[in-house]
Structure 1
Amino acid sequence: MKKIAVLGAGSWGTALSMVLADNQYTVSLWSHRKEQAEEISKKHINNKYLPGVVLPLAIHGTSSLEEALEDAAAVLLVVPAKAMRDVLKKVRSILKHPVLFIHGVKGIEPGTFKRMSEVIEEEIPEQLRQAVVVLSGPSHAEEVSQRHPTTVAVASKDLEAARKAQDIFFNHYFRVYTNEDIIGVEIGGALKNIIALGAGVSDGLGYGDNAKAALITRGLSEISRLGTKLGAFPLTFIGLTGMGDLIVTCTSVHSRNWRAGNMLGKGKNLDDVLAHMGMVVEGVRTAEAAYALAKKEDVDMPITSAIYQVLFEGKQPKEAVDELMGRDKKDEIAAFSESLVEKISKEL
């Protein structure tokens, strides 16, 4: 039975470990907290992140990176985006053999604004990585842990590596598609968290379905504009890792980004919201990165700008919504970037 090292024992890392265990892999689930690792190994639970879920016996918790990486055929990274580089530096110092790197992190590195695959390529020498694959799509950990039907995509510049990852994860409840657009898959997965914060704010303010539907639709337009400018394939954003992930994250109480936005809309300040959540809310730092990237790339992203102002400049949520509604009149299709329309036209 092959072994896979899963680095990051939050809800998503634990749920994906369950998929791997169901697929007859031995899983070494690494946590930087010894007490959590022992709870996983001895009690077969991860009570903080997936309460009430019993973990398969094939999942072994460990707080030792050396133990996790030893003899691993693949490494699955599911740590917060801000911690990715530090974890990879430690992996590089320990790893002795080349492995397939897969990540399921929906975020952008603070400061550098790099995608997670870029961080992996920078930190792990070529001789230690077979390839880099990203796993993304509409997937709440809580539902995956209950083995509810879930469909995601795996993307890589190396299509054979994507197919290998597809084989690793595919089973009767976890359907996996392949995709070669790693840029689009990572950008869609990261930026949808910003729009989910906005959807939560809208619900917190008491606005209805009309407002949220418009926010999701125009949010997808923003994500597509920036992603395409960065080199993504436009139609990726109407697939699982774009529209699919956006819908599930903006409409479900399972979404920590929606929950955080909801509390902001009800008048709580950001520090109190983050303290209450007790888990990483990737959309907060991603909003900062996307705001800077949009300015750098000269891409119009009014919803992202509004969320950034609410998070970091003290703007009141209702004021931000009023300003969005009061923007100049526009044509819906003309609001897409010319480069996006041109790329779509060429492909069609």
Structure 2
Amino acid sequence: MKDILLPNTLEAATDLLNIIRNAGILLIARPSNFTREIARVINTGITTEHILVILTKGIEQSSIALMSEIFLQELDIMPKITVLSGPTFAREVAQDLPSSAVIACNDKQTLNLLHDYLHSERFRLYKRKDLIGVQLDGTVKNVIAISSGIYDGMKMGLNARAALICRGIAEMTRLGIALGGQLETFIGMSGIGDLILTSTSDLSRNYALGQNLDRGLLLEKCMPSGGAVAEGVQNAASKNALAECHKIEMPICKAVYRIIFKGTSCVGAMQDRDSPDQEISISYA
């Protein structure tokens, strides 16, 4: 985003330990494959007074650990761990266009504090205590977005895309509930909201990658330029491993995994993915 001007009060620094010594709230926004390394670097400086806000939407491929789980594994002293996620393209947030997201934390006082700091008329924050669900929302939607891009590249039509997104919500919910997430999280802002945004817009790196895959381009040619990351690529492998581990039926995510890692054609994988899987029954009682 070379055209976006940063505020003069923002400073750049590379010494993470020095940053920790001078800040109480730490926002982590690096790609998921760097999270464990960052946790190890900050370990000697972190305290119980720090608040760690995870913005990364991913699952570690080698361990299939959520980002919060990596920090729990690597840090000797636990800060307050929170997650911020939702339907937010960085460009629109930077342009101060109206946006909404979810902030999740198990500690009510920390949740209220972050809400007071970050919430505004142009950036609305909704509070939840479901750390697991909010993290899974942000990871599954990236894989579904790749499949949506493939569908649109195949000229399947808007009806098919709507059905695909709906089935994606079912896959997200099945996995999330199995891992301890709450149903309301998946049908809310960080679930359905983020999935719709990411699966329908050319601004989505994962959606655009799916379109390029359908054109027959090699994976490395489909990746975003300028150092940007399409987290759905690694997430496809992580989701497939999680689904197999917990015996959860996720045919769309499995189809994307087969396309990216097994060389299956887009047409073959997306046609084979349809199965009479069970609908999610939602009760409001």
SS state of the match for residue 176, structure 1? strand
Aligned length: 285
Structure 2 residue corresponding to 1:110, chosen from 55, 61, 70: 61
Q: Which of 98, 101, 112 is 2:52 aligned to?
A: 101
1:88 is matched with which residue?
39
Query: Given that residues 209 and 224 in structure 2 are in contact (C-alpha distance below 8 angstroms), is that contact kept between their aligned partners in structure 1?
Result: no
Aligned counterpart, 1:209 = 158
| C-alpha deviation, 1:111, in angstroms | 1.1
Report if aligned partners of 2:169, 2:186 keep a CA contact under 8 Å in 1. yes
TM-score normalised to structure 2 length:
0.95
The code of the aligned residue for 2:279 comes to: A
Letter paired with 1:157:
N
Alignment match, 1:54: 5
**What is the root-mean-square deviation of aligned Cα atoms in Å?**
1.7
- Structure 1 match to 2:74: 123
Q: Quick one: which amino acid aligns to residue 295 of structure 1?
A: E
Q: Please state if 1:186 is matched with 2:130.
A: no
Q: In structure 2, do the counterparts of structure 1 residues 96 and 151 end up closer, same or farther at CA, with 3 Å as the change threshold?
A: closer
CA distance in structure 1 between the aligned counterparts of 2:116 and 2:28, rounded to whole angstroms = 18
Contact 2:186/2:192 (<8 A) preserved: yes
- Residue pair 1:260, 1:274 contacting (<8 A) in 2 also: yes
Hey, what does 1:27 align to over in structure 2?
none
SS at match of 2:126: strand
Return the match for 1:153 from 66, 87, 102.
102
Q: Is the 8 A contact 1:107 1:282 kept in 2?
A: yes
In 2: Cα distance, 1:144 partner to 1:182 partner? 23
The secondary structure found in structure 2 opposite 1:279 is coil
CA–CA distance in structure 2, aligned partners of residues 293 and 305 of structure 1: 11
Residue 254 (structure 1) shift = 1.1
Q: Does the aligned pair in 1 maintain the 2:165–2:199 contact within 8 Å?
A: yes
Provide the C-alpha distance between the structure 1 equivalents of 2:29 and 2:48, rounded to a whole number of angstroms.
20
Q: Determine the structure 1 residue equivalent to 2:193.
A: 244
- Indicate if the aligned counterparts of 1:133 and 1:165 stay in contact, CA closer than 8 A: no
Q: Which has the higher helix share?
A: 1
- 4+ residue stretches of structure 1 with deviation over 4 A? none
Q: Matches of 1:195 and 1:286 in 2, distance apart?
A: 10
Q: CA deviation at 1:185?
A: 0.5
- Pick from 13, 17, 20: which aligns with 1:66? 17
The 3-state SS of whatever aligns with 2:12 is strand
Write the deviation string for residues 112-140 of structure 1: whole angstroms up to 9, x where unpaired. 111111112222233x51x1100000000
For normalisation by structure 1, the TM-score amounts to: 0.78
Task: Please give the secondary structure, in 2, of the residue aligned with 1:62.
Answer: coil
Whichever residue aligns with residue 257 of structure 1, its letter is: N
User: Do the aligned residues in 1 keep the contact of 2:173 with 2:183 (CA within 8 Å)?
Assistant: yes
Please state how far the C-alpha of 1:96 moved relative to its aligned partner. Answer: 6.3
- The structure 1 residue matched to 2:272, chosen from 304, 323, 329, is 323
